[in-house]
Amino acid sequence: MTHATSTLSRSLAQLEQFRAPLSQVLPRLRSAGRVGLHAGGLMSAWASALPVDGVDLAFFKNSFAGAMALHARVLADPDKREALAQAEREDLFTLPVFLASVLPDLWRIRSKQREERQRLPVEPRDVFPYPDYYLNDFHNQANGGLSLRSALTYEWQIRLLFMGANRLMRQGLIDQIPEGDYLDVLDVACGPATWLGQAWAQNRRHRYTGIDLSPSYLEAARLLRRKATLLQMNAERMLPEWTGRFDLVTCIWLFHELPGEAMECVAAEMARVLEPGGTLLFMDAIQEADATEEEQGAFRHFQVYFNEPYFEDYTRTDLPELFARHGLRVERTERWFMSKLLTLRKEE
Ligand SMILES: C[S@@+](CC[C@H](N)C(=O)[O-])C[C@H]1O[C@@H](n2cnc3c(N)ncnc32)[C@H](O)[C@@H]1O
């Protein structure tokens, strides 16, 4: 009996020894599986529709490593892992639309390439005064940002583009929002507002207003039952009565789609609608000064292949100076994989 007990306790001690390394290995395996799956999808979609020559392979290798590191970092926290899993379960609603769109989308992009066309016409179906720069098929999407199909497939497109790190990057912004339900928050260019579900699951249950130019993206946000007031509005001209209204303004991945004058107007408007001392959380792509040589090389390909006509200009824009012109001071800058997060404060 004594012998059996001591053998058992020895075996348990040996198991204990394995537990620690196993708990380190499992998250890595999980991250590698996730990143590998998405990177595989991205590479196959790219190779079947776009020229791959000229893109530095070191860029893909480093991006893979960057996506892995971000996955391992965020997924190591059980609360964030659970919130992410919940948000990604929600993405399953739009998966059938994405899968049904893959072949027609690849075919359309391929035909565009064959005909050497940089852009296809985008037809508004309402009389909203869209700015000219918006009538572009960004990311080669069907009818640009104006079709429900592009709105419902958007999260999956960027999921492949960022090797599964789309929601992990936005987690950086969510981390900066205090928990609770007491803030008046404006999300500028909210799109389908997918990140709001992720924020809600993490007890950021504030009063949200989302604005976007696209009625279809707003429709997608409504179909996803986002708890926010959703309004079709040009971020260059927000409501006059909003002056000084919001405690917090968020803006994710808008500026790289804007020409310089529009960036200036949107920065001015975001500053205007913030209360004095209020915070702007701004996330967008990394820029030239943040990027390695291979990343800088990839900027050019991204601009051309993903039809992002203002991307390179954006990468050279001095954001702290742009915001400072409108009374917004950068307090902190953090890189989140292929994006960066700026925390800015409006002067009192
Ligand atoms: C790349 S998406 C980002 C969506 C969202 N913020 C996210 O977290 O994924 C860019 C969004 O900006 C919107 N947009 C572009 N120009 C705009 C403008 N001047 N005013 C308001 N929304 C605009 C587009 O319709 C699109 O939904």
* Tens digits of pLDDT across the chain (348 residues): 466 677 777 766 766 666 666 777 777 788 888 898 898 888 888 877 777 666 777 888 899 999 999 998 898 888 999 999 999 999 999 999 999 998 988 888 888 878 777 777 888 999 999 999 999 888 888 888 999 999 999 999 999 999 999 999 999 999 999 999 999 999 999 999 999 999 999 999 999 999 999 999 999 999 999 999 999 999 999 999 999 999 999 999 999 999 999 999 999 999 999 999 999 999 999 999 999 988 888 888 888 888 889 999 999 999 999 999 999 999 999 999 999 999 999 999
Q: Which of 213, 231, 310 to mutate to test the pocket of ligand 1 (most atoms within 8 A of CB)?
A: 213
* Residue among 117, 61, 77, 172 nearest 305 (CA): 117
Neighbouring residues of 90: CB distance < 8 A, sequence distance ≥ 6:
194, 197, 224
> Distance, CA 179 to ligand 1 centroid (Å)?
25
Residues 48, 206: Cα–Cα separation, whole Å: 43
Identify whether the C-beta of residue 189 lies closer than 8 Å to the C-beta of residue 254: yes
Are 338 and 158 contacting, i.e. CB atoms less than 8 angstroms apart?
no
Closest protein CA for atom 3 of ligand 1: 253
Could you tell me the pTM of the whole model? 0.91
Domains of the chain: residue spans and CATH: 95-346 (3.40.50.150)
